[in-house]
Structure 1
Amino acid sequence: MSKPGSLSLAAYRVLSWGMRNTVGQRIDLPRPEGELLWIQVATPGHLRAVSDFCQRLLQVRSELSFVLTGPPDADLDSWPGCDFHLTNLPQDQSGAVRGFLEHWHPTMGLWVGGDLKPNILIRASDQDIPLILFDAEFSVSLPRSARWLPDITRATFDCFQEIMTASPETARHIRRLGVQSSKVHEAPPLRISPNPRPWPEDELIETNHTLAGRPVWLAAWVQDKEFISVLTAHRQVLRMLHRLVLVLHVADETEAGPLKRRLETMDLRCVNWDDGDEIEDSTQVILTADPENLGLWYRVSAVTFMASSLERGAGGRDPSESIALGSAIIHGPFVHRHDALYSQLQRAGAAKQVKTATELGDALIELLAPDLAAGMALAGWKMITEGAPQADTLIDMVQDILDQRSAERAGT
């Protein structure tokens, strides 16, 4: 593997000692036993796609552990998904880099995006840690004092066994550095690719049989401020679809009991699914607070209203699992936590935004027509599954490298 001249590398490492390491490290976390994949995420926008990728990878390599690093402004601790060991990438300063690698000693590394750090990548390569670069950008982070050094950029890209970029221009730039052409590939970016866990077939069949072809809609992650709007919309639609059933999933489980009593005073016949209540032919609202149950109700419901979005504050919920399971999506205007995904869905004709209870009721009447809901659900499913081939390609690469490392250790 090509490396910069010893003088250039030595000079760069000396210069990097002057960088102030302002990013705290979670050295209190022990390194897990066994294989450990280190994933560096360059921007917060990559986090969800990486989470989906890791969940897919765990299905074929269940004992694998992950340490996830990201930019200083990424709120890693609030990110749902895999059981990551979360820390921040150190500044590209020799002592901090050495401490990070000595503590975690990753089996291999996956860098997603740009802002490459020469010190940590070259030192990892020196320690024979295999590295893959995905969604590559022509972006190497050098302090101003080190930009005159020859070959550092080339050496940084040369640390990777495989380099994948969605940009033909980036691929050309990397090859022109002198990086081996055969390891630079053009590939689509890593995208969201949810892979929901299976649901017991017998329970799904029994639930559908119990509902006996009645129209069903789901309001998921409903905040207390949204209860009146959801129930008002349900009453509006009941005037036209008398057998309509609302599955009402509350965001705060402590609200389930008081809400059931409230529904009874409103003459809405309600059962609490979490308490084992039986659904009857007269049931109008099925109440649940357990997020695990959403896997069932996304499958049963033709339309899902992704709540936590009709009033300011919560910022919306991720709709990707619902889409992957075939439900058409309605949402409110306040979805800033997942704004990019909702924008994509609207462009694809797979989601509908509403602002009031009346608009929610009107949208339900429109979408509970089977053909329209099915068309929206199909558009969403096509969009959300676009990322599966890219994730599978990356999984194959990671599997091959980990298998090779395992064979090497067994042979020593």
Structure 2
Amino acid sequence: MRAPPLFHLYVAATVLLAPFVAWFEIRKLRRQGLSALRAHEKMGHASQPRIGSGNLIWFHAASVGESLSVLALITRMGEMLPRAHFLITSGTPTSAKLVADRMPPRTVHQFAPLDAGGPLTRFLHHWRPAAAIFVESELWPRMLRMTRARGTMMALVNARLSAKSRAAWARRPGFAAYVLDVFDLILTQNDDMAQAMVDMHAPADRVARGSNLKSMSAPLPQNPALLAQIRTAIKARPIWVAASTHKGEETTVLDAHKTLLQTIPDLLLILVPRHPDRSDEVAKLIAKHDLTYALRSDGALPRDDHAVYLADTLGELGNWYALSDVVFLGGSLLPIGGHNPFEVVQSEAAVLSGPHVTNFAETINKMVETGAAEIVADVEALTFSVGHLLQDGAHKAASLRAARAFVQGKSDELTRIAARLIHILKLEDDNR
């Protein structure tokens, strides 16, 4: 396909702007504590050697959520391709740290090169990927076309574009068709997005509905030593978790907990704000409800007289999920979009969620249909559902069975997606 004039204009702009963008990006990474060696990955200078003699499969994601969403897929593809190695690129130090903490076997992380000729040439020459898999909305024109020009097989997975992005691409149909033509396969999150990609002039015969990879994410990490400490401290107390709560939701959670204490007096709430820097604000709210609490960031453990354990730290959510069969998932009582319910059921817990779950609508709806999740719209519904799960053993057992079945179904679906990518990207030979 011939490059449209707008693509040539974009290339010219990157030539002019690359030195300034490079200075800004490297300076930003250095200020965030990265070494000069790692910061210069933005310029395509690899900080690690190319690994292995087999095929290298490159995954490119933008930020934390997208990076973490593909770790389970990398792991599954690695099981199916034991000689393959993997490279994951992203753009933020936070994503780099979290990926490093959960790195699948035979995988390395690098910061993504700038979308400019020099950085991309160095990057592609060093890593020589056999296949490149881009995640969600990472559509950098030069990166895509230069990767394809090397003969690399390419896919877009978990494809998702906002209405604003779709409208912008729709105004440039020739440019959109030229960029999207690089992909051998485009897997979208749902049918609506599949149609949107076709409307944006993606090749219709290469577009298919996939699934939201965030609903197949790898299990959250746990700290066995910490879990042993907490379990010793709480003994046999009943527990429920309110995770990833946002401003305006903690009041509902604490009102529900206060009511539940009237019938379950030794009940412990583990409250995990989405943003730990809100710790002081949430602590004041707990005190305003006349509830006693311990603070995780102080290193404290919950005592028998503590009604709430305020878990105001990052990266420990897997521990709190492991402690309870009942988890309310925040970001859902208000129009925020919700958070990942699959991480909860992977820990064999029942999910309670508010109604505002646009980010995971398909996942939550299927979980509700199977009994692995319940929707609670207000404090009365939250109080009833938590109490019902804690006090009705048969109801809780049925919810947990549904959760386990949902996890198994997603595991099978992940295998199918991995097998499809391996086939379309012609990676089968690396399994010999």
TM-score computed with the length of structure 2 as normaliser: 0.61
1:342 paired residue among 359, 364, 376: 364
After superposition, the Cα gap between the structure-2 partners of 1:291 and 1:344, relative to the gap in structure 1 and judged at 3 Å, is farther
Task: Report the equivalent of 2:311.
Answer: 288
After superposition, the Cα gap between the structure-2 partners of 1:332 and 1:122, relative to the gap in structure 1 and judged at 3 Å, is closer
1:50 aligns with 2:50: no
1:227 aligns with 2:246: no
1:30 aligns with 2:53: no
Task: Report the equivalent of 1:311.
Answer: 334
Instruction: Name the amino acid aligned to 1:193.
Output: M
* RMSD (CA atoms): 5.1
Which has the larger displacement, 297-306 or 30-39? 30-39
CA distance in 2, matches of 1:324, 1:85: 29
Whether the 8 Å CA contact 1:234–1:361 is kept in 2: the answer is yes
**Deviation of the 1:342 alpha carbon:** 1.9
**Deviation of the 1:281 alpha carbon:** 1.9
Task: Report the equivalent of 2:203.
Answer: none
After superposition, the Cα gap between the structure-2 partners of 1:272 and 1:20, relative to the gap in structure 1 and judged at 3 Å, is same
CA distance in 1, matches of 2:224, 2:85: 27
Instruction: Name the amino acid aligned to 2:230.
Output: T
**Deviation of the 1:219 alpha carbon:** 0.6
More helix, by proportion? 2
After superposition, the Cα gap between the structure-2 partners of 1:65 and 1:310, relative to the gap in structure 1 and judged at 3 Å, is same
Q: 5+ residue gaps in structure 2?
A: 23-41, 100-108, 160-169, 189-205
**Deviation of the 1:46 alpha carbon:** 8.9
Larger-gyration structure (1/2): 1
Aligned length: 347
After superposition, the Cα gap between the structure-2 partners of 1:255 and 1:50, relative to the gap in structure 1 and judged at 3 Å, is closer
**Deviation of the 1:199 alpha carbon:** 2.2
> What's the CA shift string for 1:365-385, capped at 9, x where partnerless?
112133323322332333234
1:321 aligns with 2:343: yes
Which has the larger displacement, 260-269 or 217-226? 260-269
SS in 1 for 2:306: coil
**Deviation of the 1:246 alpha carbon:** 0.4
After superposition, the Cα gap between the structure-2 partners of 1:213 and 1:79, relative to the gap in structure 1 and judged at 3 Å, is same
CA distance in 1, matches of 2:409, 2:113: 30
1:200 aligns with 2:223: yes
Instruction: Name the amino acid aligned to 1:226.
Output: E
Whether the 8 Å CA contact 2:60–2:112 is kept in 1: the answer is no
After superposition, the Cα gap between the structure-2 partners of 1:104 and 1:236, relative to the gap in structure 1 and judged at 3 Å, is same
1:104 paired residue among 102, 107, 123: 123
Counting only pairs closer than 5 Å after superposition, residues 2-81 of structure 1 correspond to structure 2 as 12-13=1-2, 16=4, 19=7, 28=22, 29-31=42-44, 32=46, 33=48, 34=50, 37-39=57-59, 49-50=69-70, 52-54=72-74, 64-67=86-89
Instruction: Name the amino acid aligned to 1:336.
Output: T
Whether the 8 Å CA contact 1:190–1:391 is kept in 2: the answer is no
After superposition, the Cα gap between the structure-2 partners of 1:87 and 1:217, relative to the gap in structure 1 and judged at 3 Å, is farther
Whether the 8 Å CA contact 2:269–2:309 is kept in 1: the answer is yes
After superposition, the Cα gap between the structure-2 partners of 1:134 and 1:244, relative to the gap in structure 1 and judged at 3 Å, is closer
After superposition, the Cα gap between the structure-2 partners of 1:109 and 1:203, relative to the gap in structure 1 and judged at 3 Å, is same
**Deviation of the 1:329 alpha carbon:** 0.8
**Deviation of the 1:195 alpha carbon:** 1.9
After superposition, the Cα gap between the structure-2 partners of 1:113 and 1:249, relative to the gap in structure 1 and judged at 3 Å, is closer
TM-score computed with the length of structure 1 as normaliser: 0.64
1:362 aligns with 2:384: yes
Q: 5+ residue gaps in structure 1?
A: 1-11, 70-75, 91-95, 166-183, 408-412
Identity %: 20
1:273 paired residue among 296, 315, 329: 296
Instruction: Name the amino acid aligned to 1:289.
Output: D
SS in 1 for 2:259: helix
After superposition, the Cα gap between the structure-2 partners of 1:46 and 1:286, relative to the gap in structure 1 and judged at 3 Å, is closer
CA distance in 2, matches of 1:49, 1:222: 21
Task: Report the equivalent of 1:373.
Answer: 396
SS in 2 for 1:291: coil
**Deviation of the 1:316 alpha carbon:** 1.8
> What's the CA shift string for 1:210-229, capped at 9, x where partnerless?
32222100011222312221
SS in 2 for 1:372: helix
**Deviation of the 1:323 alpha carbon:** 1.6
SS in 1 for 2:345: helix
CA distance in 2, matches of 1:187, 1:263: 44
CA distance in 2, matches of 1:265, 1:68: 42
1:259 aligns with 2:282: yes
1:384 aligns with 2:404: no
Instruction: Name the amino acid aligned to 1:280.
Output: R
Whether the 8 Å CA contact 2:276–2:314 is kept in 1: the answer is no
> What's the CA shift string for 1:323-354, capped at 9, x where partnerless?
21111111112222322322222222211111
After superposition, the Cα gap between the structure-2 partners of 1:250 and 1:376, relative to the gap in structure 1 and judged at 3 Å, is same
**Deviation of the 1:391 alpha carbon:** 4.3
1:217 paired residue among 237, 240, 250: 240
Instruction: Name the amino acid aligned to 1:296.
Output: N
